[in-house]
Structure formats: structure tokens, C-alpha cells
Amino acid sequence: MHWRKSASLLCYFQSWGGELAIAEIQAGACGFITVVKATAIDKRTVELSIESACPHVQKLAESLKVVDAYKELSCRQGATAIIAAGLQHCTHAACPVPCGIVKAVEVAAGLAVASDVAIHITKEG
């Protein structure tokens, strides 16, 4: 067992090769924090546990329990399960939660490295 930490994305590698990726998503002005736990069941299948005080993200979490990591990699064939759930339940177009869920799934499935994603916004003038 060993841990690898990248500021807000934490990965735990289990001895059998499955991974648990934990993403803490700070959505911004709304003040809600979402914690996503993505656990690789096998090389494609990822189980999700999503906790948030946001009522919209709670509904999204109810609709997303297990995803196929490979189907979440591209939107070229249309919206993925995670993006579709975000479109259905998140009322704000700029909500970063669906993107954060995708990143956690990628890391759990071994399709991406644990690395933070950031958007820094400033206003001038």
C-alpha cells in the first residue's frame, strides 16, 4: 500500500492493483465543497461515492454510482454519463463538479496521473 498526494487529489493504490482516487472540488462562489471517491473495480469499471452539501450535486450523485472509465474519456460521440448527469442536475453551466468527477475516474482507472486542475479568475478594471 502506498499513498500519492497532489494537493487536492489523493490516490491510494491497493495491493491488488485497484485504485481509490479522492478529489476535493471547491466549486467557487457558491461555497460548496464536493468530495468524490472513485474506486476502480477493474480496469474499466469505476464505482463512485460523491458527497456534497449542494442539493444539485446530491441529485447528480444519486444518478452516478458506477461508470465505464473508457466511455468517460471523450465527448466526441455525445455526452458521457458524467457529463449528461451534470447537464441534467447542475443548474450552473460553470459548475466544475462534473469535470472533477471525470478526473477522479481517470485517475482511479489508471488513465491519468493524479494532478491538480485549477482555474484562477481575476477581474480588472
Whether 119 is in a domain gets the answer no
Whether 121 is in a domain gets the answer no
pLDDT at 7: 43
Whether 124 is in a domain gets the answer no
Whether 45 is in a domain gets the answer yes
Whether 71 is in a domain gets the answer yes
Whether 27 is in a domain gets the answer yes
CATH of the domain at 30: 3.90.1010
Q: Number of folded domains in the chain?
A: 1
3-state secondary structure the chain: CEEEEECCEEEEECCCCCEEEEEEEECCCCCCEEEEEEEECCCCEEEEEEEECCHHHHHHHHHCCEEEHHHHCCCCCCCCHHHHHHHHHCCCCCCCHHHHHHHHHHHHCCCCCCCCCCCCCCCCC
For residue 56, give its domain range. Answer: 2-108
| Mean pLDDT of each 10-residue bin along the chain, 125 residues long | 45 55 93 96 94 97 97 92 96 94 95 90 91
pLDDT at 19: 82
pLDDT at 43: 85
Whether 36 is in a domain gets the answer yes
Whether 54 is in a domain gets the answer yes
pTM for this prediction:
0.85
pLDDT at 18: 66
